[in-house]
Structure 1
Amino acid sequence: MEDSQKIALVRQEPWLAQYEPQIQRRFDRYQEAIRGIDDFIGNILEYASVHNFYGIHFEAWRKGWVYREWAPAANQLNFFGDFNNWNRSSHPMKKSGRGDWEIFLPYDQYKDSFIHGSKVKVHVIAENGALDRIPAYIRRVIQDENTHDVAGQLWFAKDFKWTDASFTTKNSLKQPLIYECHVGMSQEKLGVGTYQEFEELTLPRIKAAGYNTIQLMAVMEHPYYGSFGYHVSNFFAPTSRFGTPEELKSLVNKAHEMGIAVVMDIVHSHAIKNVNEGLNEFDGSEHQYFHPGDKGYHEAWDSKVFDYAKREVQQFLLSNIRYWLEEFHFDGFRFDGVTSIMYSHHGLFMDFDSVDLYFDKNVDEDAVLYLQLANTLMHRINPQSISIAEDMSGMPGLARPIADGGLGFDFRMAMGVPDFWIKTLKHKQDEEWDMFELWHQLTNRPQAERSIGYAESHDQALVGDQTLAFRLMKEDMYFSMSLLQQNLIVDRGIALHKLIRLITLTLGGEGYLNFIGNEFGHPDWVDFPREGNNWSHQYARRQWSLVDDPLLRYGQLDAWDKAIIKLANDYLLLASAPAEQLHLDPDKKILAYQRGGLIFVFSFHPTESFFGLPVHVKEAGEYRHLLNSDEKQFSGFERLDRKVNYFTDEHQCIKLYVPNRTVLVLEMK
């Protein structure tokens, strides 16, 4: 085949040439699926609208409520709740030929009992017995504080008045600066934070910090708080433990008023295996929403795996995407567990050290197709929506247009970067840090695919792992963060914390992510209330009082984060071309590069400072001192004079004083 006829991904990435048939098949299956959807129902928007058919809806033309459920293998469904005094047999549903069940409740007869706030369930009689279940498309689920019984709740609140019509995600799409956060643990109190508290207390902090995007975790209803939102039970219900749907809408609306995009962490990679709360065995079979047998069980996550080939499952998940975008005005999604979705082995115990692994029999082609359809739908609903893939495998084309042979994501998480920092801090002394390896690990990514770089996320903050701050300072950070005392361990930790975050921000991708509180070195891990900690909220919160205390060094780390985020905003650093290396000295631990018109000079040397260090630059002229990590306001030692400008010599070099464990940022005057 002539080069001009090859699919773009192969044409631009010649190393994939031998896999062109698989990549072409990927694209052909997508085109075939779109044609099939168009023939079946008209277009993908209609295909993704079953949430407006199933579930509970008021139909004005019929003057009453209708409840529909897809449960093909069930023998009988009976609707019950507060409206019929919890009678499991008085309201049987009728089954259609395609496995849908339906019941109609006339308004005149039920207007006083089928009301806002009342509770409902569905009694399903099937092969697995007679069980009380939560309707699959329910919009709100609550748990009784005393009995812990879970039920669906009717939610007939008045339409929310949005004021965000003029909001645009163009800044976030250009260079997403993401603040990853969890509403429940976002407050300092020993308890669960609310949507309202997040809007009033946390959003202003995020705005002041300069981030243009927030990534909300644990939004979809999950019965176990300690799952961090990853064992989803009710896909169309925003978790009620944080407040009402209107309060979530208000949070999103307020963020938009502040110019901040809101991306939701969406979990379509698996579902909770619980029968009482979730989808598992809803109609009595194990293969309604999920694969049957071992294929439908995720051993590592103790959860169920969707059958992405099934039309009804595709429609369920795609409608879920449409629902969150339209009903709550989310600006996009960070898709959790994309590696698990794409491969039948879920990426478990895999190093992905061969290109063959991206195209072998373990790739779930139906799951890959689902991801392509999900991205198509998102961008059809809102061309400015943001889709981010959490994939550790490195699947080629993941964040490339579908027409190029890709999967259509806008960004991919650079998951190798935090792993690199963990390995470096765990296994290498400061003197052993390899500048060549550092440059390679932070810049080695597909140039045609945009990545979100990050030094740490929620994964590194959870119990069982450690934040960067704790790895660097250990228990000393509990006792020696006062401005009134010196501590060599803390001095080292703060210096490296600043360097790691700036070099990751400027080298690690075309976007950047920080987990709530890590910007100021939050001292504690994240551990949700559980039996093992006596159901304590001690470590499921953020101690903002630490960063607000003028006598502690946490505030100085926070000031540094504000400064580097401002730098990224002012110079559109992450929207700029990849960095160009200017200088690398493995012995002196010096690394210098240029990006976005700025010069970055890092010294990772643990002890030595260097005078008259020559750094060759691209343009001759005068360079001014823009920022350095050794300033006192950033918990530094004030060894550099910001008033000093630097002139190139006859070799087009600038000669610098570079203190140990410091970064200088320069720009041409």
Structure 2
Amino acid sequence: MPSGPWITEEDIYLFSEGTHARLYQRLGAHSRIVDGVQGTQFAVWAPNASEVSVLGDFNGWKRTVNPLARGRTGIWEGFIPAVGPGTVYKYFIRSRVNNYGVEKADPFAFFAEIPPKTASVVCDLDYEWQDSDWMARRASLISTDAPVSIYELHLGSWRRIAQDNRWMTYREIASELADYVTKAGFTHVELLPVMEHPFYGSWGYQITGYFAPTSRYGTPQDLMYLVDYLHQRGIGVILDWVPSHFPDDQHGLAFFDGTNLFEHEDPRKRLHPEWKSLIFDYGRNEVRSFLYSSALFWLDKYHADGLRVDAVASMLYLDYGRKAGDWVPNKFGGRENLDAVDFLRQLNQFVYREFPGVQTIAEESTSWPMVSRPVYVGGLGFGYKWDMGWMNDSLRYLARDPIFRKYHHRELNFRRLYAFSENFVLPLSHDEVVHGKSSLLSKMPSDDWRKFANLRLLLGYQYAQSGKKLLFMGGEFGQRREWDHDAAVEWALLQYAPHHGLFRWVSDLNTLYRQESAMHQLDCEPSGFEWIDADDYENSVLSFIRKDRAGGSIVVVCNFTPVPREGYLVGIPEPGWYRELLNSDAECYGGSGWGNLGGKDSDLKPMHGRPHSLTLNLPPLSVIFLKRGKK
């Protein structure tokens, strides 16, 4: 291969324009043959540097041996012979602005040393994927009319090797995770950020390696193997991705070339007040190209089926977490971050154009309009949005003593006002079981029996509601302590009947959700949901119908008190015999075993504006699912 410009004129144009979404093919360290010589091509963006060199174990970490040449747009590049995969390196950057000198990790490195070491590692991304069948059909498995049930986990604390309490590698975890997720019935896993991060206690949300999987669990090929294995087992993989902020570690992106290159120069825009981290300058074209490229990289090289975009609300508002006078209004005098809005819209357009089989999911905690609506109608362009309102209202309601719940019934039915304004995912995530918030089970009031009954009710209510589902590890069997990233999930609890019963309940909920089209097909459309009675606050009961496009339906009734209700009338759309598909109070789940003896015949007795009704036994703290059919 003859020598020539590695960074092309087109690269420079697109990078400067803020529309280069494949920078990982040019910047960073790439094995290459030049004039018959094998080596590595290095390229790094440092426009305010007076000198840049590559140093590493191959040159004794000497700053003067391998200088790079400055090109247009401030990209420094050079070819170093005889340097190959496995080489440890950094860039030395001298700023022309203030003579500041610093050693930096490569922002585009594909691999890094195991923390607390901070150097980058030359790495090729060769891998023979075996998931072609999955890739061909995955779009239909994460669409709005598909059953999408997500198991969220942190790789370092899902399971650990008992002998020395170490985390499992990407390869070690693959078969165990696939077996467990299959048994539990989830359709997808969502991994807390696997991108390289120096502080393990950040759970991956303080990223320094936007193109490097953390080396704590293995190599890039090891992570590819994990994704590949899950795909072959029919399980989708969603990656948590963080374009909202980054840490100020010296080897990372902060003050990269002696200036605020990736972050804002104005501290009122630069510093995140809550997380003590730095905020990307979304108005800078080169920074946008960097982030677009990072997003597409994980979809391209790691076959991710979706990206959950963290902390979108913090990006959208200039005053997020700030007091009056500590933020700068936009050009119209408002609090909206117009640069971030443009960035997110362009991001989603890139993703869906280049990878039409995936979804982006926004963690957005405010009422920003049309987060999951297309850009061409004025939306942000995400595929889904987390319903934080449902999560907060439901957890607050279920934490109350049942005797007081009738006074807070609105926390249950308020969602009807906005349930279809977005394509929602209903999350019971990691954020709700840390920092003193306690586990899901421990949030529930009263004695142990009622705690488990309440948690079964909460999870049943989650699956009954319109929207896709997400549950953080441990919640599926009732972990007692809150999540600890330094310890494994409390697997020993599964040997006890209440915990095993809860796990069986979640597994059966997932089966029902997948098998019954009325439970998922119209998750994001108003026509898929119909109230029977949203306002029975005196009894703290909700009843409603889930529907599919063919006219099929499931009747759902939730009793949010520990009072068994015999002879409770529920209006139904059609007469007939209704089979009790699931009852959270069944003995196999740890309940009392009270119910409707498998089903009920309808009565010609008007109720709830319908000519027919069912006379039901509502078990205590329960949810039941019924379907019209043959005896």
Who is 1:662 aligned against? 622
Specify which of 350, 362, 373 is matched with residue 389 of structure 1.
362
The 3 A distance-change label for structure 1 pair 124 and 430 is farther
Who is 2:540 aligned against? 589
Inter-partner Cα distance in structure 1 for 2:406 and 2:175: 43
Q: SS at the partner of 1:636? A: coil
Who is 1:601 aligned against? 557
1:115 matches 2:84: yes
Who is 2:4 aligned against? none
Q: Name the aligned partner's letter for residue 413 of structure 2.
A: H
Specify which of 507, 511, 515 is matched with residue 562 of structure 1.
507
Deviation at 1:553, TM superposition (A): 1.6
Inter-partner Cα distance in structure 1 for 2:230 and 2:265: 39
Q: SS at the partner of 2:497? A: coil
The 3 A distance-change label for structure 1 pair 44 and 325 is farther
Deviation at 1:433, TM superposition (A): 3.8
Deviation at 1:115, TM superposition (A): 3.1
Q: Is the 8 A contact 1:267 1:336 kept in 2?
A: yes
Who is 1:524 aligned against? 481
Inter-partner Cα distance in structure 1 for 2:17 and 2:24: 14
Specify which of 244, 265, 287 is matched with residue 269 of structure 1.
244
Inter-partner Cα distance in structure 1 for 2:101 and 2:69: 17
Specify which of 196, 205, 210 is matched with residue 180 of structure 2.
205
Inter-partner Cα distance in structure 2 for 1:86 and 1:42: 30
Inter-partner Cα distance in structure 1 for 2:222 and 2:375: 36
Deviation at 1:46, TM superposition (A): 7.1
Inter-partner Cα distance in structure 2 for 1:526 and 1:330: 25
Structure 1 stretch 315-324 or stretch 43-52: which is displaced more?
43-52
1:318 matches 2:292: yes
Inter-partner Cα distance in structure 1 for 2:182 and 2:33: 43
Q: Name the aligned partner's letter for residue 617 of structure 1.
A: I
Inter-partner Cα distance in structure 2 for 1:272 and 1:185: 22
Deviation at 1:40, TM superposition (A): 5.0
1:187 matches 2:159: yes
Deviation at 1:441, TM superposition (A): 3.4
1:371 matches 2:341: no
Inter-partner Cα distance in structure 2 for 1:360 and 1:501: 43
Specify which of 112, 130, 135 is matched with residue 106 of structure 2.
135
Inter-partner Cα distance in structure 1 for 2:263 and 2:257: 10
1:47 matches 2:20: yes
- Give me the TM-score of the superposition, normalised by structure 2: 0.88
Deviation at 1:80, TM superposition (A): 0.9
Deviation at 1:128, TM superposition (A): 6.2
Seq. identity, %: 28
Q: Is the 8 A contact 1:331 1:386 kept in 2?
A: yes
Q: Is the 8 A contact 2:556 2:624 kept in 1?
A: yes
1:617 matches 2:572: yes
Q: SS at the partner of 2:225? A: helix
Q: Name the aligned partner's letter for residue 572 of structure 2.
A: V
The 3 A distance-change label for structure 1 pair 41 and 306 is closer
Who is 2:132 aligned against? 165
Who is 2:440 aligned against? 468
Report 1:382-531 matches (<5 A).
Answer: 382-426=355-399, 429-434=402-407, 436-445=409-418, 447-454=420-427, 456-472=428-444, 489-507=447-465, 509-528=466-485
Inter-partner Cα distance in structure 2 for 1:321 and 1:282: 21
Deviation at 1:418, TM superposition (A): 2.1
Who is 1:337 aligned against? 311
Inter-partner Cα distance in structure 1 for 2:470 and 2:489: 18
Inter-partner Cα distance in structure 2 for 1:291 and 1:649: 72
Q: SS at the partner of 1:459? A: helix
Inter-partner Cα distance in structure 2 for 1:439 and 1:432: 10
> For the aligned residues, what is the CA RMSD?
2.5
Inter-partner Cα distance in structure 2 for 1:245 and 1:563: 35
Inter-partner Cα distance in structure 2 for 1:331 and 1:396: 25
Who is 1:544 aligned against? 491
Who is 1:630 aligned against? 585
The 3 A distance-change label for structure 1 pair 502 and 273 is same
Structure 1 stretch 37-46 or stretch 514-523: which is displaced more?
37-46
Report 1:7-46 matches (<5 A).
Answer: 40-41=13-14
Inter-partner Cα distance in structure 1 for 2:202 and 2:432: 15
Inter-partner Cα distance in structure 1 for 2:265 and 2:502: 48
Q: Name the aligned partner's letter for residue 586 of structure 2.
A: E
Inter-partner Cα distance in structure 1 for 2:605 and 2:266: 72
1:286 matches 2:231: no
Inter-partner Cα distance in structure 2 for 1:98 and 1:44: 11
The 3 A distance-change label for structure 1 pair 399 and 44 is farther
Inter-partner Cα distance in structure 1 for 2:243 and 2:419: 25
Q: SS at the partner of 2:290? A: helix
Structure 1 stretch 387-396 or stretch 285-294: which is displaced more?
285-294
Who is 1:12 aligned against? none
The 3 A distance-change label for structure 1 pair 339 and 257 is same
Specify which of 122, 132, 147 is matched with residue 154 of structure 1.
122
Who is 1:7 aligned against? none
1:247 matches 2:202: no
Inter-partner Cα distance in structure 1 for 2:498 and 2:473: 17
Specify which of 60, 64, 68 is matched with residue 33 of structure 2.
60
Q: Is the 8 A contact 2:19 2:289 kept in 1?
A: no
Specify which of 502, 525, 529 is matched with residue 579 of structure 1.
529
The 3 A distance-change label for structure 1 pair 242 and 348 is farther
Inter-partner Cα distance in structure 2 for 1:42 and 1:66: 18
Inter-partner Cα distance in structure 1 for 2:555 and 2:421: 24
Inter-partner Cα distance in structure 2 for 1:327 and 1:587: 55
Inter-partner Cα distance in structure 1 for 2:336 and 2:105: 33
Q: Is the 8 A contact 1:435 1:590 kept in 2?
A: no
CA deviation digits over 1:95-153, x for unaligned, max 9? Answer: 124211112113xxx2xxx2322211111112362221111111111136xxx432111
Task: Give the aligned length.
Answer: 587
Q: Is the 8 A contact 2:16 2:73 kept in 1?
A: no
Report 1:74-93 matches (<5 A).
Answer: 74-93=49-68
Q: Name the aligned partner's letter for residue 311 of structure 1.
A: N
CA deviation digits over 1:551-577, x for unaligned, max 9? Answer: 432110000111111111111313224
The 3 A distance-change label for structure 1 pair 149 and 667 is closer
- Give me the TM-score of the superposition, normalised by structure 1: 0.83
Q: Name the aligned partner's letter for residue 160 of structure 1.
A: Y
Q: Is the 8 A contact 2:397 2:412 kept in 1?
A: no
Q: Name the aligned partner's letter for residue 513 of structure 2.
A: A
More helix by share: 1
Q: Name the aligned partner's letter for residue 141 of structure 2.
A: N
Q: Is the 8 A contact 2:15 2:285 kept in 1?
A: no
Mark the runs of 5 or more structure 2 residues left unpaired by the alignment: 1-9, 548-552, 607-611
The 3 A distance-change label for structure 1 pair 589 and 349 is farther
Q: Is the 8 A contact 2:129 2:228 kept in 1?
A: yes
Q: Name the aligned partner's letter for residue 252 of structure 1.
A: V
Q: Name the aligned partner's letter for residue 567 of structure 2.
A: G
Q: SS at the partner of 1:269? A: coil
Specify which of 262, 266, 269 is matched with residue 295 of structure 1.
269
Inter-partner Cα distance in structure 2 for 1:42 and 1:267: 21
Inter-partner Cα distance in structure 1 for 2:323 and 2:448: 36
Inter-partner Cα distance in structure 1 for 2:323 and 2:414: 21
Inter-partner Cα distance in structure 2 for 1:586 and 1:360: 44
Q: Is the 8 A contact 2:153 2:192 kept in 1?
A: yes
Q: Is the 8 A contact 1:435 1:591 kept in 2?
A: no
Deviation at 1:408, TM superposition (A): 0.7
Inter-partner Cα distance in structure 2 for 1:194 and 1:153: 19
The 3 A distance-change label for structure 1 pair 553 and 446 is closer
Deviation at 1:58, TM superposition (A): 2.5
